[in-house]
Structure 1
Amino acid sequence: MTKKRLQDDFYDYINHDWLQSTQIPSDRPNISAFGEMDLALEKLLKGLISDWATGKKEIPNNKHLQEMIILYKMVMDVETRTKLGWSVAKTDLDKILKLESFQDVAKQYVDLDYQFIGLPLGFYVSQDFINNRIKVLWMSQLGSILPSKENYDKEDKDKFLKVWSDMSFKLAKSYGLDDQTINHMIKKALEFDNLLKDYLLTNTQKADYVSLYNPKNIEWFADKSKLFPIKEIAEKLVENQKVDTIAIDNVVFFENLDKIFNDETFEGYKALLFFRNLQNTASYITEETREIATSFRKALYSIDQTRSLEDFAFDVVSKYFSMPIGLYYAQTYFGEQAKKNVENMVKNMIQIYEKRLKANNWLSKDTAEKAIVKLNKLGVMVGYPEEIESYYDKFIFKTYEQGGNLVSNLKIASQVLTKHNFDQYMQRTNDKLWSMSPAAINAYFHPFFNHIVFPAAILSAPFYDINASSGANYGGIGAVIAHEISHAFDNNGSQFDENGSLKNWWTEHDYKVFKDKTKAAIEIFDGIETEHGKVNGTLTVSENIADMGGFSCALEAAQKEPDFKAEDFFENWARIWRILSKPEAAKRRLESDVHAPGKQRANVQLSNCDLFYETYNITPSDGMYIEPSKRVKIW
């Protein structure tokens, strides 16, 4: 493919050689700047874990890592897993098959909730949006077979449901059910799923996360379900504490519980519950059942190959021990100089943000002052957390020799996590805990804590390079830092105050202007054509607002550096968003990802920037040109 002019497609111009020469790994849906860093980190961590497991290196004197290796060895022991087969899961899965009604589900709800995924009411404990220092009880909508409600309106819906049906048939056959029973169960499960989908939220609705906070007095639920005594179940789950209020994410779903869960729909729900848990367990039985269990996801995301055994074992222990292994990585490999440099960049950009808020021409003084209070109270965490969750101490596994098996140990882990979550009910939150491993190639803003977190692993090239120019680093990690700061003032984060509580701190006029600017941010992205569909400006608006603020703030910070070159900044900005996706994966991202595709993330912000036009002499006839009146600037 011919290289495009930078004036027409800056993203393609900068990344052309990479886009032409890079191959997407056969077991991944895409490859990106983030993905390449993840592959390198995964190689390092897999090597460490393998060496510990095989005795090439001594396992650190760390209880969590030692339990992790027990689990890793059990995944790798294919011979024993194959010999045991489905026998290790049959007692539990047969419990689902023996359920005769929703009354049975209601009576056993607590026990079932500790054992299975996909229970009707989706209970869990999380922070309250207003009194955010306390954790409260929530209920969440039940998930559908396809990844999102939007999938059911696509032409390929039946194709993917057929893949799911074939997978379910093969797994149930290997489990020991007869063909007639399996086919009937699949038919009923699909009927229930077809009913369920009508009551679910779309991805665009879920992206507006303030709208997901709907606290309801316990009496509100009294007439919502004839089959489930919600107050009774809720109080049993939280060890008989009093429950006065439950927050729900989807009012429509919970207003229609009796239409979704009734005597006529029970058979379909039960079948779906069985298949869901069968698939969830199958990867841990044999390599053959793992291959079958991954077929649905592979079809959804155009993945060619199942992860290798070694990779799968790494995935399993990473899922359950993300913090212990991440902490080991950060404490072993993370440099203090990098941490100091990044903390200095954060400090610079907070100062610039304050200056920009004071000079803002559309905010009133009152709102600007409150925004500055929030900004100055913003917490900054770099590298790794001071402490991790206490539940890791309760991950105590039995080896095969001790009478344990992989499924029984994962059941222990799951039950520990479930109990830990419900034990948090009405407890104070701990803002020292992170929601992301130090070994994650990512960063985040937490609206309830009003803090930003930058794990050690993201502080590497191309985002951060201690030997790169300041312009390149500000175009990489600097823009990511400022992006996370900007989330405090995007369409979601702007509704939380300096303490992380849901509270309106805007004047009525200022918030109206902000909503108008948010609408403009939606319009500048909405409908942009890509190879696999159109960008949804509403779905991606919060991330696009954060990019707008992050890009402009990081650029201003970079310009203060003595070695600043605009080209370094713009080029690395385009570089960090490079990505290649397989066709179905690209479609799924357009349907569900709150981030715009990489090319559009890079190019639209550049086209919004006046200095970009000056640097590269962009004219109205160029593809990168946006009329000045249509350029969007918020922060």
Structure 2
Amino acid sequence: MSQKRLQDDFYDFVNAEWLATAQIPGDKSLTGAFEEMDRDLEKLLKELISDWASGKKEVPADANLHKLVTMYKMIVDTKTRDQLGWKPAQEWLNKILDLQSFSEINDRFVEFEYKYNFLPLGYGVSQDFVNNRIKVLWLGEIGTILPSRENYDKLEKEKFLSVWRNMNFKLATSFGLEADLVNKMLDQALEFDNLLKDYVLTSLQKADYVSLYHPKKLEWFENKSKVFDLIKIAKQLVSNQEIDFIAVDNPSFIENLDVIFNENTFEGYRALMFFNNLSFIAPYITEQTRAIASEYKNTLYSIEKNRDLQDFAYDVVQRYFSMPLGIYYAKTYFGEQAKKDVEKMVNNMIKIYDRRLAENDWLSPATIEKARLKLSKLGVMVGYPEEIQGYYDQYQIKSYEQGGTIPSNIFSILDALTAYNYQEYLQKTNEKLWSMSPARINAYFQPFFNHIVFPAAILSAPFYDINQGSSANYGGIGAVIAHEISHAFDNNGAQFDENGSLNSWWTPEDYQVFKEKTQKAIELFDGIETEVGKVNGQLTVSENIADIGGFSCALEAAKLEPDFDVKKFFENWARIWKILIKPEAAKRRLESDVHAPGKQRANVQLSNCDLFYETYNIQPQDKMYVAPEKRVKIW
């Protein structure tokens, strides 16, 4: 039993037994409610794939699942992988080493875009924020060695860069390069990365994703680079279709292209491009190179050991065949009763949200009308999608017997994904497609479509259990549902209209009040101490606003049920956020994750709820106490 009083730490009180006995698996950086569900799901799917691969069970009549099984069998065939060694990736990597200038990359940009990671320019096709019915061309920055810009200001920077260096030294010498050359290249790569870091966005900037939309006419790109013809490359990537504008996420990066990419920085860039692609393909070469290629990530997130071979094979096919596998899972294992129950909860939540909007005391009638219109147009998707992306059909997966290798199959997948992405240019968006597999323990709000999605896999305990009572379910999946609805009205989602277009539907006066309430939500979390640092209220504000609205809405819905039990609601709310996490992984999350840590997500929303005080007689001297004037109500 917990030594802490629930009035001081409700999360620890409810989860005491679990926190005392739970263990983080050696190949993971954390465990918790989400992760335990994911392990159960993973066990089921791994056994299924293993049975398909061994012939114990017949592979379903789905060409993409047959490709999945082929890839899985090739990965677990370590004998053939050892015999092949680096040979399947040799020519691919040597082409990077053969590059002589940025002008060569400029001339062959489209070719390289389909083959390699870490090109100097982050082109891609994605949603237009204003005309959400089409997809447009975007141009973005490229990534640094460390996960975020903030990491370069941390004391651990040198430790992590040293591990990255040692990992790539071992991989490059294993590939066959001389040690002196590798050390020289590593010096150059790290020097280039140190330059690059000053021109990329911070985690805080990325979290405010609406502010990343900068549509620029083609004239803006003229003379931005002495070595890259930005307009010519853009037109080539979209098969010379007409381009009205290109959306830029980081204008400062583009304006400094000549500082980042010039004849003095070329060797450093080429070296870093080589090491990024080397470490990307290394896990697919041999088990030895896979182990080496894991060292940097394992250090970053305090992971003690690598995934075993079967787990790794599962991870790969789950990554590249997530939708076909997820569809099979959902159609085979997803209960119709669960779907009906969740759809009922969603409908209840929308009705409550609508009533709360109608009775809102800080919005004008005009803004309330627009908010209710947006809510009425909210799409709800539960279980699995009607369609999946077309690129799966374009994967050319060949077995060893057919002359294929794992790297060649990965190259085929990357080629298909890139081709599909650019073929989407100016195409009408398909709202039936999901961006999350049905076999995923998660849910999401899509601002561009104004719809919420609940994959089949999340509809299980502790989030949902037909036998645990309605109050516990509302404290679990109900709060998740209302959380996703609330994202339509968080600091980012609130800027999109009922059709999913970036279009202000607020009066200026109402939006100013909303900004003031958003600031209070920032202050509610900002500076809360954790074991590894302080919560950043600004970074996590969108998720916290969604929790504030989701928690209160789900509680109101639970009250309408005949078996309402407020303690069961509060307790399951605390259970779904239980987590044990390694210190380094917790630090990485505080630096860049838009979600507050699990314990704080659980406790702060309880401290923000008046009924919690009444139920457990919370007093000012209790640590769970937050003064009434600091409690935040938005929706």
* TM-score category, normalised to shorter length: over 0.9
Q: CA RMSD in A?
A: 0.7
Aligned partner of 1:390 in structure 2 is: 390
- Aligned length in residues: 635
Q: 2: distance between equivalents of 1:536 and 1:136?
A: 33
Q: Aligned letter for 2:497?
A: D
Aligned partner of 1:359 in structure 2 is: 359
| Matching of residues 211-222 of structure 1 within 5 Å | 211-222=211-222
SS in 2 for 1:498: coil
1:316 paired with 2:316, answer yes
| Matching of residues 22-421 of structure 1 within 5 Å | 22-421=22-421
Q: Is the 8 A contact 2:330 2:456 kept in 1?
A: yes
Q: Is the 8 A contact 1:124 1:421 kept in 2?
A: yes
Return 343-352 or 392-401, whichever deviates more: 392-401
Aligned partner of 2:558 in structure 1 is: 558
Q: Aligned letter for 1:223?
A: N
Q: Aligned letter for 2:105?
A: V
Q: 1: distance between equivalents of 2:219 and 2:121?
A: 16
Aligned partner of 2:528 in structure 1 is: 528
Aligned partner of 2:543 in structure 1 is: 543
Structure 1 residues 216-256: Cα deviation after superposition (integer angstroms, max 9, x where no partner): 11110111101000111111111121223111111111111
Structure 1 residues 384-410: Cα deviation after superposition (integer angstroms, max 9, x where no partner): 001111111112311111111111011
Q: Aligned letter for 2:283?
A: S
SS in 1 for 2:436: coil
SS in 2 for 1:124: strand
Q: 2: distance between equivalents of 1:479 and 1:217?
A: 43
Q: 2: distance between equivalents of 1:380 and 1:530?
A: 36
Structure 1 residues 123-171: Cα deviation after superposition (integer angstroms, max 9, x where no partner): 1100100001010001111100000000000001000000000001000
Q: 2: distance between equivalents of 1:396 and 1:270?
A: 29
How far the C-alpha of 1:599 sits from its partner, in A, is: 0.5
Q: 2: distance between equivalents of 1:171 and 1:428?
A: 44
SS in 2 for 1:65: helix
SS in 1 for 2:381: strand
Q: 1: distance between equivalents of 2:223 and 2:391?
A: 37
TM-score scaled to structure 1, two decimals?
Answer: 0.99
Q: Is the 8 A contact 2:117 2:276 kept in 1?
A: yes
Return 488-497 or 245-254, whichever deviates more: 245-254
Q: Is the 8 A contact 2:469 2:563 kept in 1?
A: yes
SS in 2 for 1:283: helix
Aligned partner of 1:516 in structure 2 is: 516
Aligned partner of 1:628 in structure 2 is: 628
Q: 1: distance between equivalents of 2:214 and 2:93?
A: 34
Q: Aligned letter for 1:26?
A: G
Q: Aligned letter for 2:556?
A: E
Structure 1 residue runs without a partner (length 5+): none
Aligned partner of 2:11 in structure 1 is: 11
Aligned partner of 1:482 in structure 2 is: 482
SS in 1 for 2:408: helix
SS in 2 for 1:381: strand
Q: 1: distance between equivalents of 2:5 and 2:212?
A: 44
Q: 2: distance between equivalents of 1:166 and 1:227?
A: 32
| Matching of residues 457-476 of structure 1 within 5 Å | 457-476=457-476
Q: 2: distance between equivalents of 1:145 and 1:139?
A: 20
Q: 1: distance between equivalents of 2:242 and 2:106?
A: 19
Q: 1: distance between equivalents of 2:218 and 2:227?
A: 16
SS in 2 for 1:246: strand
Structure 1 residues 424-454: Cα deviation after superposition (integer angstroms, max 9, x where no partner): 0010000000000000000000000000000
SS in 1 for 2:141: coil
How far the C-alpha of 1:330 sits from its partner, in A, is: 0.3
How far the C-alpha of 1:2 sits from its partner, in A, is: 5.7
Identity fraction in percent: 67
Q: Is the 8 A contact 1:474 1:554 kept in 2?
A: yes
Q: 2: distance between equivalents of 1:597 and 1:510?
A: 31
Q: Aligned letter for 2:14?
A: I
Aligned partner of 1:582 in structure 2 is: 582
Runs of 4+ in 1 over 3 A off after TM superposition: none
Q: Aligned letter for 2:118?
A: G
Q: 1: distance between equivalents of 2:364 and 2:512?
A: 12
Q: 2: distance between equivalents of 1:506 and 1:333?
A: 43
Q: Is the 8 A contact 2:444 2:454 kept in 1?
A: yes
Aligned partner of 1:596 in structure 2 is: 596
Structure 1 residues 286-323: Cα deviation after superposition (integer angstroms, max 9, x where no partner): 00000000100000000000011000000110111000
Q: 2: distance between equivalents of 1:158 and 1:397?
A: 40
Q: 2: distance between equivalents of 1:226 and 1:147?
A: 29
Q: 2: distance between equivalents of 1:3 and 1:27?
A: 30
Q: Aligned letter for 2:158?
A: D
Q: Is the 8 A contact 2:131 2:501 kept in 1?
A: yes
SS in 2 for 1:28: coil
Q: Is the 8 A contact 1:6 1:12 kept in 2?
A: yes
SS in 2 for 1:454: strand
SS in 1 for 2:126: strand
Aligned partner of 2:426 in structure 1 is: 426
SS in 1 for 2:56: coil
Q: 2: distance between equivalents of 1:397 and 1:143?
A: 29
Structure 1 residues 564-618: Cα deviation after superposition (integer angstroms, max 9, x where no partner): 0100100000000000000100000101110000000000000000000000000
Q: 2: distance between equivalents of 1:333 and 1:408?
A: 33
Q: Is the 8 A contact 1:231 1:243 kept in 2?
A: no
TM-score scaled to structure 2, two decimals?
Answer: 0.99
Q: 1: distance between equivalents of 2:251 and 2:489?
A: 27
Q: Is the 8 A contact 1:212 1:249 kept in 2?
A: yes
Q: 2: distance between equivalents of 1:398 and 1:431?
A: 32
Q: Is the 8 A contact 1:349 1:557 kept in 2?
A: yes
Q: 2: distance between equivalents of 1:386 and 1:398?
A: 28
Q: 2: distance between equivalents of 1:378 and 1:557?
A: 18
Q: 2: distance between equivalents of 1:537 and 1:72?
A: 43
Q: 1: distance between equivalents of 2:398 and 2:544?
A: 48
Q: 2: distance between equivalents of 1:473 and 1:595?
A: 22
SS in 2 for 1:626: coil
Structure 1 residues 25-82: Cα deviation after superposition (integer angstroms, max 9, x where no partner): 1001100100000000000000000000001111111111011101111111111011
Structure 1 residues 88-140: Cα deviation after superposition (integer angstroms, max 9, x where no partner): 00111101000011001101111111110100111110010000101000111
Q: 2: distance between equivalents of 1:435 and 1:399?
A: 28
Aligned partner of 2:441 in structure 1 is: 441
Q: Aligned letter for 2:235?
A: E
Q: Is the 8 A contact 2:444 2:484 kept in 1?
A: yes
1:491 paired with 2:499, answer no
Structure 2 residue runs without a partner (length 5+): none
Structure 1 residues 465-520: Cα deviation after superposition (integer angstroms, max 9, x where no partner): 01111110000000000000000000000000000000000000000000000000
Q: Is the 8 A contact 1:476 1:573 kept in 2?
A: yes
